[in-house]
Amino acid sequence: MSRTLLLATRNAHKLREVKEILAGTDFEVTSTADFPGTPEVIEDGDSFQANADKKARTLAELTGRTAIADDSGIEVDALGGAPGIYSARFAGVDGSGADEANNLLLVSRLQGVPAEERTARYRCVLAVVTPGGEARYTEGSVEGRIVDEAIGDGGFGYDPHFEVTGDPQQRRMAQLSPDEKNAISHRGKALRNLLPLLEELLGPGEE
C-alpha cells in the first residue's frame, strides 16, 4: 500500500509543519492543494475528533488515498474552554485577516482576567483514514497562558499571544524556532503518536 499521505489542508503553514515533523521518515506528504477538485469539508462536528474524522474520511473516499486530517484549537480556561473547535472562526472572519481578528477578540474577552487565571492549551486531534475506511486517532496538547501583548513573527493562529508553560524565557509560541515548536507543539505530539499507527495501517516501507 502507498506510503503517500494526503493531508486535509490548503494551509501552507500547516503543511510545512507536518512535513518538518515527518522529516526522516519515508512518508511522503501531499495536500488538498494538489487536488483542486476536492471540496472544502464543513466542520460541523461537536468535537475535534468528529471534525478530523469527517475531513479525512471524505478525502479518502474521494481520492482513493490514505488521508490525514487534524482539528486543532485553543482552549482557554477562563472562557470555559472556548474558542475550542471554533478557534479558526472565533471572530467570524475568513481569509488573511482571520488570525488578527481572532486574536483581538480573544484578548478583549480576557480583559480584567488576572494573569494566573489565563491558563490555556492548544489541543490537536488527528485522524488517519484509509480508502477502505479504516481509521485511527491520536491527540496532543501543550499548556500555556494567554498574554495581551503579541510577540514573535513565527507560527500562526494564536501563537503570538500564547506563552508556553515551562519555557525558561517565557517565550510566546511565535518566538520559537520551527524545531523548538515542533518538539513541544500539540500537532507535533499528535503526529509522533500517529507514527506507529501509520505503520500498522500502511505496512512497512521500502527497505
Would you tell me the crossing angle of helices 12-21 and 186-202 to the nearest 10 degrees?
A: 60
Verify whether residue 153 is a known catalytic residue. no
Which residue, 47, 92, 95, 39, is CA-closest to 71? 47
Give the angle 9-175-27 at the CA atoms, nearest 5°: 35
Task: Enter the C-alpha cell of residue 204.
Answer: 512497512
Catalytic residue among 44, 46, 53, 71: 71
Residues taking part in catalysis: 71
